[in-house]
Amino acid sequence: MAAALLLGTSSAQAQMALQQDSQEALRKLSIAEMAVKSLYVDDVDEKKLVEDAIRGMLEKLDPHSTYSTPKETKEMTEPLNGSFEGIGVQFNMVEDTLIVIQPTLGGPSEKVGIIAGDRIVAVADTAIAGVKMSKEEIMRRLRGPKGTIAHLKVVRQGIRDTLRFDVKRDKIPVHSIDAAYMLRPGIGYIRIGSFSATTYHEFMESLKKLQQEGMRDLVLDLQENGGGYLQAAADLAGEFLNQGDLIVYTEGRRVQRSDYHARGGGSFLLKKGKKGQPDEGRVVVLVDQYTASAAEIVTGAIQDQDRGLVVGRRTFGKGLVQRPISFDDGSMIRLTVAHYYTPSGRCIQKPYKKGDKRDYAMDIVNRLKSGELIHEDSIHFADSLKYYTLRQHRVVYGGGGIMPDYFIPLDTTRYTRLHRELAAKSIVIQQNLRYVDQHRAELRLQYPDFAAFKAGYNVPQSLIDAIMADGEKQNIKPRDDEELRQTLPMLRLQLKALIARDLWDMSEYFSVMNEENDAVNKALELLGEMRNK
């Protein structure tokens, strides 16, 4: 009893000492801030002083604990919340003129009659064309609170007079599903760009649509998906798993373990045929070095539960969970409070040094230099990081991203130097926009649907010539005939995809581009093998 009492007293004293240290630290910080504000030789912005102090604290922690100003917070949360307020158009700039690519279906602009190809030349009698206004400033003028009116002046081909539209701003959805279409008979393709508040709902709509079109198996593309909401990822992963299957769990120093399980009744469960072999519901997940966070949760759950195969390159390796802490002025701290772990127990957070964000940011570049993105045998894992999948007991590794089941090397020869420089100078996109703008009506007439376009359209030589002529004006030209020969196939494919996007949408863009995507073609090969077993 005396020993227990002594231990209790010792624990209480330690707790009191910690509280005292904490109070002294806060008092020290307060005195420092007060001294600078009161005594410093020049005037100081007290608000900025406090923000800099917060940033200073967080910079010494992990790479994902951050502070954002009210403006930065709004910009960061809009895509995650799944909407923003504005007029609802996809647009691009050709030189200094805004051209509408597509009005949002059912959005404010479409409702008043704005169509693809329209040029918005003024907002509220302020010219935005021919004045070298930045794209960000134009977006600021077009966006605004729901219910407010944007008074637009529009120039339309074939119409002599300038048109006037009063567009009532509204909530505009931000879609996180980039593409959803039938890749082959029986095989669907869904590409997810991020995990937002609306991703699960969007995914279920896409899944249902493809199942109605005869989808039996799925290629789930998470390449370049930087993550987002953990809950959205967990809900989505649950659609592939049986009730009770573990998806992910989180745990931290002050955060108790929290498990996320499949709730049952998944819409894409594995079904077996008469012979007991898988008959449908097979899935292949595509990943690359930019696949991170919530996207790694989905990938890890499918791999660890032996639910499907993973194809691509080792993922980014973000296994840290951030908790948002909001301030009254709209600013926010995103503080790392836990690690997340895949069902086999892997923590896939890649190594980092506290306070060294530069080395962390250079990781992808270092992977390229080491040859990892090109040669599978350049990737090495310690035996201490070895784990096993839950059903088939296959070896998987923790300690830095998710290693795919089938490695696809980065093809550094696909885009030549010439192609990269033409794209970097926006020559490809600008000439594409001009071409579609001039030929939209005749293209629509000649190709009434995408299937006819994909099967029959060929990029005209005149468009290639225009790109090369523009490039030459900026001293971008092929070094020799061989470089030009190597450039043309991918350039033509990209242009066809961009034209498809501008005439229809992103699903059509990926439908064209994926025909030459090594990871997609490997997925098709694997699904064919699985179906024939």
Q: What is the pLDDT of residues 249-308, one digit of tens each?
A: 999 988 999 999 999 878 898 887 777 677 789 999 999 999 999 999 999 999 999 999
- What pLDDT was estimated at residue 14? 64
pLDDT tens column, 161-188: 888 999 999 988 888 999 999 999 999 9
Do the bridges between strand 258-261 and strand 386-388 make them parallel or antiparallel, or are there none, so unpaired?
A: unpaired
Asked if the model's pLDDT at residue 481 lies above 80, the reply is yes
| pLDDT band of 12, cuts 50, 70, 90 | low
pLDDT tens digit sequence for 294-319: 999 999 999 999 999 999 999 999 99
pLDDT score for 4: 53
Pairing mode of beta strands 187-192, 217-221: parallel
Please provide residue 494's backbone torsions phi and psi, each rounded to the nearest 5 degrees. Answer: -60, -45
Six-digit token string for 51: 């923000």
Q: What is the 3-state secondary structure (H, E, C) of 37-74?
A: HHHCCCCCCHHHHHHHHHHHHHHCCCCCCEEECHHHHH
Which pLDDT does position 52 carry in this prediction?
A: 87
Residues involved in catalysis? 293, 304, 318
Residue 450's φ and ψ, nearest 5 degrees, are -65, -35
Task: Provide φ and ψ at 213, rounded to 5°.
Answer: -90, 5
Residue 47: phi and psi, rounded to 5, are -60, -45
Nearest to 311 by CA among 519, 62, 460, 138: 519
DSSP secondary-structure letter at 116? T
Q: 49 burial class (0-12, 13-18, 19+ CB within 10 angstroms)?
A: middle
CB atoms within 10 A of CB 469: 12
CB-based contacts of 48-55 (< 8 A; 24+ apart in sequence): 51/331, 53/29, 54/333
Quote the pTM value: 0.86
Measured distance CA(222)–CA(287) in Å, rounded = 5
Contact, 233 vs 298, CB < 8 A? yes
Take residue 193 and report the two structure tokens written for it: 């760009």
**Residue 477 CB neighbour total at 10 angstroms:** 15
- Per the rule left: phi > 0, alpha: psi between -120 and 50, beta: everything else, 158 is left
DSSP E strands in 413-454: the ranges are: none
Q: What is the pLDDT of residues 55-69, one digit of tens each?
A: 888 888 888 999 998
Q: How far apart are CA 258 and CA 238, in angstroms?
A: 16
Contacts of 21 (CB under 8 A, 6+ apart): none
Which string of DSSP letters, residue by residue, matches 117-177? T-EEEEETTEE-SSS---HHHHHHHH---TT-EEEEEEE-TT--SPEEEEEE-EEEE---E
Q: What is the DSSP string of 223-285?
A: TT---B-HHHHHHHHHTTS-TT-EEEEEE-SSS--EEEE--S--TT--EE-TTSSEEE--EEE
DSSP single-letter state for residue 397: E
Rg of the chain (C-alpha set)? 27
Distance (Å) of CA 25 to CA 37, 53, 127, 241, 253: 19, 13, 54, 48, 21
Residue 452 clears pLDDT 90, i.e. is over it? yes
